[in-house]
Amino acid sequence: MAGIGWLPGERDTRPPATQDDLDAAVAALAGRPVAVLTGAGLSTDSGLPDYRGPDAQPRNPITYSQFVSSPEFRRHYWARNHVGWHQVHTTEPNEGHYALARLEASGIVTGVITQNVDRLHERAGSVNVIDLHGHYQLIRCLNCGATMTRDELDVRLQELNPGFLERVTELGDIEIAPDADAVLAQTEDFVIADCPVCGGILKPDIVFFGESVPPATVQAAFALVDASSALLVAGTSLAVMSGLRFVRHAAQLGLPIVLVNRGLTRGDGLATVRLNAGTSEVLSYLEQQLPRPAAGAS
């Protein structure tokens, strides 16, 4: 059964992917419209650490209940996010992101379902992207529903907290996380911004732990898999059901599944081809090797 013996961050004892493994991945995907599912491991080559990779540091992300019920947790979250956003929003896509964008432009990739909130797929040029867990660039009021961009919120946070970024940078007390967050010890004096319309609680349009992915987003992701003939999974341990369910769905449909990740995943037992390798290298190789659809082919 898939997942037996799996632990988050556990190292894969299998050897690194060989040329035979790469050839098998190409054979499994060739001539098929491919849906793609990505996770934090895809962005590590852009300088963003992942959550559950073999070298990932233990993390305790804030939960939705903590965020809405505790002003202290909200202050701590926004202080960390304020620092983390200034790093993440200037992070550049890596070759893995660009390879997927080119594969979509060539008609091989039908779209990307991403568990990441970093918007790097869009910045690389991918068009059909389903942000499964939302993204960091939109802010929403939990009371009245008013929205603003993260850039607009940044102006307010800098006005409310002059010199904060410079102080924490000098302390060196920064560790960036994949969700535009950062780990900070000194957050007691940070002033959070309330909704300018109603004074309510502002929250990133991101699915926190303890929240559910919006049903419409889930339906769109399932529809993308249904409209494809193969599934490529890159850079995720599939530790949470929000991503694993699409791998299980593809397996139930009998689709070939190519899974690329460093470290074990909960989907290993469902994979047609399992590559113990970095995502950028494999995606670049697939982009070079997969045949383009013939002109006029549907």
Where in the sequence numbering do the catalytic residues fall? 133
**Phi, psi at 273, each rounded to 5°:** -135, 130
Phi/psi at 41 (5° precision)? -60, -20
Tokens encoding 43: 């962005």
| Phi, psi (degrees; rounded to nearest 5) at 204 | -60, 145
E-strand ranges in 142-208 read 147-149, 202-206
Structure tokens at 34: 């491919």
Per-residue CA distances from 58 to 50, 152, 221, 261 (Å): 10, 32, 29, 19
Question: Using CA atoms, how far apart are residues 237 and 119, in angstroms rounded to an integer?
Answer: 20
| CA atoms of 20 and 38, how far apart (whole Å) | 23
